[in-house]
A and B are shown apart, each in its own frame.
With several copies, the nearest count.
Chain A
Amino acid sequence: MNDRVAEPAVTRPTRTVIRVQTDDFDVGAEMTALRAGSAAIGAVASFVGVCRDRNDGADVAGMTLEHYPGMTERALAKIADEARGRWDVIDIAMVHRVGPLRPTDQIVLVIVTSAHRGEAFAACEFLMDYLKTRAPFWKQEATPDGLRWVDARTSDDAAAERWR
Chain B
Amino acid sequence: MLQLLYFARLRERFERDAERVALPAGVADVAGLTAWLRERGDPWVTELAPGRPVRVAVNQDMADAATPVADGDEVAFFPPVTGG
Contacts and interface: CB of A to CB of B under 8 A. Distances in A.
Contacts of A137: 81-84
Contact of A68 (B7, B9, B80, B82): B7
Query: Which of A75, A133, A136, A140 gathers most chain B CB within 10 Å?
Result: A136
Contacts of A71: 57, 60-61, 76
Contacts of B57: 68, 71, 136
Given A134-B81, A137-B81, 8 more contacts: A49-B84, A107-B83, A107-B84, A133-B81, A136-B83, A138-B81, A139-B83, A153-B82
How big is chain B's contact interface, by range? Answer: 10 to 19
B83 A135 contact: yes
A145 interface: no
A101 to B, nearest CB: 11
How big is chain A's contact interface, by range? Answer: 20 to 34
B4 interface: no
B13 to A, nearest CB: 10
B83 A96 contact: yes
A152 B82 contact: yes
A68 B62 contact: no
B16 to A, nearest CB: 14
B28 interface: no
Given A70-B60, A138-B7, A149-B8, A131 B84 contact: yes
B76 to A, nearest CB: 6
B32 interface: no
Query: Which of A49, A65, A71, A132 gathers most chain B CB within 10 Å?
Result: A71
Contacts of A96: 83-84
Contacts of B61: 71, 74
